[in-house]
A and B are shown apart, each in its own frame.
Chain A
Amino acid sequence: MRIKKGLKTGEVFVFLFLALLSFVILVPFVYLFTSSLKTNAQYFKIPIEWIPSPALWSNYYYVFVDLKFYVYMWNSTFLAASSVVLSVLSSSLIAYGFARFRFPYRNAMFIVVIATMMLPSQVSMIPLFIYFKSIGWLDSYKPLLVPQLFGSAYLIFLIRQFYITLPREVDEAATIDGCGYLRIWWHVIMPQAKPVLVVSALFVFLASWKDVFGPLIYLSDRSAYPLAVGLLYFTSPTSNAYTLILVAIVIALIPTLLFFILSQKYLNKGVNIANLK
C-alpha cells in the first residue's frame, strides 16, 4: 500500500511538472499564433488580446499565395528531403565502417571526425565559397547537397554509437551465409537501426530547414530560396509588417511539426546508444 501511494503522488508531481514546463514553452507559441491573426493596431494593444477579434485569416492567404511562400516551402522541402536521404545513407555507411571493421588509424580518424565539428563553419565559409565558385557551383543546390554525400560528423558519431551495441552474432551468421558486407549493412544492420536513423533524419531535416547562411550566399535567384531566407524579407527596419512576419513563422513551422509527429512512432522505440547488453 505504502509503495502504491508513493507512486501516485510521484505521478501527480511528474504530471504537474510537465504541464508547467509545457505551459511556459507554449506561451510564446500561443502569442505568436494569435498575433498572426491581428492587424498592426491590434498587435500593439495592451492588455494583450489573446483571442483577436476580428481574426484576420486573410493574412495567411496573403503570405502563402501573394508573397509566394509556397515557392519557398517547396524549395525547403526539396532541400531538406534530399539532405536527409544523402546524409543519413552516407553517414550510416561510414558509421558501419567505424563500428565493425579494424583498420589502421581507425581511432585517430574517428577523433578527426569529431574534431571537424569544432571549427566554426564561419571560418571555412569564405574559402569554401571561393572554391565552389571556381568549380562553377554557385547558383545551384550543389554546394548545399553534394557535401552531404560524404556524411555528417555528428551523425557518424551518433550512428556509430548505436551500431557498436548491435550483436555481432547476426552479422557473422550472415557472413557464413555468403552475404557481402554491403548486404549485411543493408539487410541486417539498417533494419535494426531504424530508431537511430529516424532521429538522424529528424536532425538533418531540421538542420537543412533552418540553414540561412548557406542558401543565402550560394543562391542568388529568389525563386530558388528556401523558407529560412524568405523569412528575412520581413526583417527590414523600415518594414511595418509586424504581424505578417508572424504568419510566415507559423507557416514555416507547420512542415517541421508534421515531420516530428510522423517520426514519434519510431522515437518511442528507444535507441540503445548506451552500449549495454
Chain B
Amino acid sequence: MGIERREKLAGLLFVSPWMVGFLLFGIFPMAVSAYLTFVKWDFLREPRWVGLSNYVEVFQSPIFYKAMVNTLIITFGSSLIYLVLGVIVAAMLAKDYLGSNVFRAIIFLPSLVIGTALAMMMGPVFGNGKYGLLNQVLSMLGMPNQSWLTEPGQAVWVIVGMSFWYLGSSVIIYLAGIKGIDPSYFEAAMIDGATGLQQFYKVTIPLITPVLLFQTIMGIIGGLQVFDLALTLSSEFKTGGMGNDNSLATLVFYLYSLAFRDYDMGSAAVVGWTIFIISLLLSMVIFRLSRRFQLFGEEESK
C-alpha cells in the first residue's frame, strides 16, 4: 500500500514539470484562442464580440476549402512517401557497408537546412523557363518547359514532391527502430534461407510497425501544419497572396494570412481549431489501429 502511494506521488512529481508548463504555456493560449474564435480582433483595439460569424465566414470561404484540399493532399502524399520510401531507404541504410555513412549524411542533409533557405535553394531547381534545373533536364529529354510553382494546377504536387528532400528525419527514426531489432531474428531468417527482400517484409516490417505508427502520426500532425515552405516559395516566386490562384494555400498559411496580413485574428483562430480537430480525429483513427500494437496502452515489456 505504502509503495503504491509512493509510486503515485513520484510519478506525478516526475510529470509535474510538464503539467506546470502546460498550465503556463498550454492552457492559457488555448483558452485565449478559443475565446478569439467568437470575436473580431485586429490585435490593437478592443476585441468585438461577433458570436458565430467568424465560423460562418471561414466555412463559407472557397479559399478555406482550397486550403483544406491542398493540406490533405500534402499530408497524405508526403506521409505516404515518408512511410514507403522512408522505410525502404532506412532498411537499405541499416546494413553497414562501404559508404553507408556517407549515404546517411547525404539523405539527412536537406533536413539540416533552415526552412527559408531550403525554399531559396529549391528556387533554381523548380525555376521557370530555361533557368530551372528541372526544366533543363526536361529540355534534354525533348519535353516542354514547365512553370512548376506558378502554374495553378501543379504547385501543390511540387510541394508533395519536395518531401523527397525531407526524407531524412523519418529515415533516422526508422533506422533507429530497425537497428534496435534483435539481430537473432535476422539470423534465424537467414538460416531459413530468406533473401534480403524476404527479410525486409517478413522480419523488419512486422517488427517496426509501432515505429511506423509513431512516425505516421507525427507525419500527419506535421503535414497538417505545413506552412514555412509554402510561404517562402510563394514569396520567392512573387505569386501574390498564397500562390497563383491560391495554389500554395495550406490551412496554416491561410491562418497566417488571415491573422498577420488581414488583421483578422478571430477567423484565424477558427482555422487553427479546425486544424486541431482534424489532427485529433486522424490521430484517433490511428490510435484505434495501433491498439493492437500496444503503442499507447500498458507499458510493460515482456
Contact = CB atoms under 8 A, between A and B. Distances in A.
Do A and B touch each other in the complex, judged by CB within 8 A? Answer: yes
Interface stretch (B5-13, B51-59, B60-68): B5-13
Interface string B24-46: 11101110110000000001000
Interface in B237-268: 238, 251-252, 255-256, 259, 265, 268
Given A17-B92, A277-B302, A270 B114 contact: no
Interface of A: 3, 6-7, 10-11, 14-15, 17-19, 21-22, 24-29, 31-32, 35, 46-48, 90, 93-94, 96-104, 106-107, 109-120, 122-124, 126-128, 131, 147, 149-151, 154, 156-158, 161, 164-168, 181, 185, 195-196, 199, 202-203, 206, 209-210, 212, 227-228, 231-232, 235, 237, 245-246, 248-249, 252-253, 256-257, 260-261, 264, 267-277
Nearest to B236: A235
Contact of B275 (A103, A111, A118, A199): A118
Nearest to B100: A18
Classify the secondary structure of A's interface with B. Answer: helix
Interface stretch (B14-22, B76-84, B152-160): B14-22
Interface of B: 4, 7-15, 17-22, 24-26, 28-30, 32-33, 43, 89, 92-93, 96-97, 99, 101-117, 120-122, 124-125, 130-131, 133, 136, 164-165, 169, 172-173, 175-182, 193, 195-197, 207-211, 214, 217-218, 221, 224-225, 227-228, 235, 238, 251-252, 255-256, 259, 265, 268-269, 272-273, 275-276, 279-280, 283, 293-296, 299-302
A10 B195 contact: yes
A26 B107 CA distance: 9
Given A6-B195, A101-B11, 13 more contacts: A3-B193, A3-B195, A21-B164, A101-B8, A123-B33, A150-B17, A161-B295, A164-B300, A210-B114, A210-B115, A267-B176, A274-B177, A275-B294
B121 A28 contact: yes
Nearest to A29: B109
A35 B120 CA distance: 12
Given A7-B195, A14-B92, A102-B7, A122 B301 contact: no
Contacts of A115: 276, 280
A115 B282 CA distance: 12
Contacts of B207: 274, 276
A119 B276 contact: yes
24 contacts: A25-B106, A28-B165, A94-B15, A101-B12, A102-B7, A104-B8, A115-B280, A116-B26, A118-B221, A118-B283, A119-B273, A123-B272, A127-B28, A128-B29, A149-B17, A185-B14, A199-B172, A199-B176, A206-B112, A209-B114, A231-B117, A260-B108, A261-B105, A276-B207
Nearest to A47: B136
